[in-house]
Every structure is written in C-alpha cells, then in structure tokens.
Amino acid sequence: MAAYTASVTVRLKPGVLDPEAETTERALERLDFDLEELRSADRFEIDMEADSPEAAAERADAMAGRLLANPTIHDYSVEVEPAEPAAGATR
Amino acid sequence: MAAYTASVTVRLKPGVLDPEAETTERALERLDFDLEELRSADRFEIDMEADSPEAAAERADAMAGRLLANPTIHDYSVEVEPAEPAAGATR
C-alpha cells in the first residue's frame, strides 16, 4: 500500500450553460484581460492508500461515477500522483 | 501568437474550513469508499492567444491575483498547455 492523491476534475458537458463562468469571463474582460473563453470546473483532490496508481485511479473513477459527477450534465477526468509528503498548496 | 489553455486551480489555504468538502468526504465514506482526505478546489480553464507559454502563464497569474483568487483564503497554481484543436471534455 502506498499513499496517492487522485485528482478528479468535474466539468460541465459542452452545451450546458454556465452563467457563473460567463460572468467571470466578462469581469476579466472589463479588467482589460485578453481571453477567448473561460470554463469553470470542480476539482476534488483525494488522498488515499492503494496498492498501485491504477487501483487509486479506479477507486477515484468509481467515486466520480457514484457521487462527485452528475452524468447528465458532467464529464470528468481522473489523474493520480504519489501523495506529496507535505500535502498542500503550491503558492 | 498561438492558442493556449491556461488552467488556474484555486485552493483553500491550509486551515481554512471547508464544510462542503467534509460533507463530500463523509458521503463517500458512507458509500464504503476508503479515503484519507478530500479537498475541493475551483478550476478555471482559460483559452487565450499569447506569444509564448510563459506569456500565457503570466497573464493567467495576473487574472488569478486580480479576480479569481482571494489572497486571504486562497492559494492558486497555474498550468499552461497548447490549446487542443477540439477543446472539450475527456469523457
């Protein structure tokens, strides 16, 4: 068993309206930032013990399918990394 | 100029309470999933035209500092990739 961090990113499917992202995009444009499009997503970073990265990915995938994502409106992707000794933020 | 997608991940600073993440963690445990900890984050995927990946990262960093993150409670990190021809979801 080793410690892994599985990151599940839950995005709205293309075509699903996201008024919050549109508002954020317009606010950035009003601040004179140059951008084409902004999409927002939810990200879940899950620390777990597993036998292999594959096992951790499989478990995170099952979590997304059962609870974290709504298949009617969401797509999701899973990435797995060995857990950092000092878990936390980058900046 | 080339097309890039900058991903800004906005996380709560360590120590800032996140009741929603705690609720999600407990719901997963009730579904018999084995996990140590769950953290939630907001992710913004921003399509933009820029001269270089460095310029795209710098602009996304400025967007996070001005609008996307609240420095009192948030940390953030920025990743830049060339924009995918067919932007969209993984699954």
Model pLDDT for residues A16-65, shown as the tens digit of each residue = 999 999 999 999 999 999 999 999 999 999 999 999 999 999 999 999 99
Q: How confident is the model at residue B89 (pLDDT cuts 50, 70, 90)?
A: very low
pLDDT of residue A88: 46
Both tokens of residue A80? Answer: 């797995």
**Interface membership of A55 toward B (CB under 8 Å):** no
**Interface membership of A73 toward B (CB under 8 Å):** no
pLDDT of residue B90: 47
Could you say which of B42, B49, B63 has the minimum Cβ distance to residue A42? B42
pLDDT of residue A89: 44
**Interface membership of B36 toward A (CB under 8 Å):** yes
Q: Please state, in angstroms and rounded to a whole number, the distance separating the CA atoms of residues A66 and A56.
A: 15
The domains found in chain A, sorted by start residue, are 2-82 (3.30.1280.10)
ipTM score for this prediction: 0.85
Q: Are strands A37-50 and B37-50 parallel, antiparallel or unpaired?
A: antiparallel
Q: Please state, in angstroms and rounded to a whole number, the distance separating the CA atoms of residues A66 and A62.
A: 6
pLDDT of residue B85: 67
Q: Hey, which residues does A80 pair with through a beta bridge?
A: A6
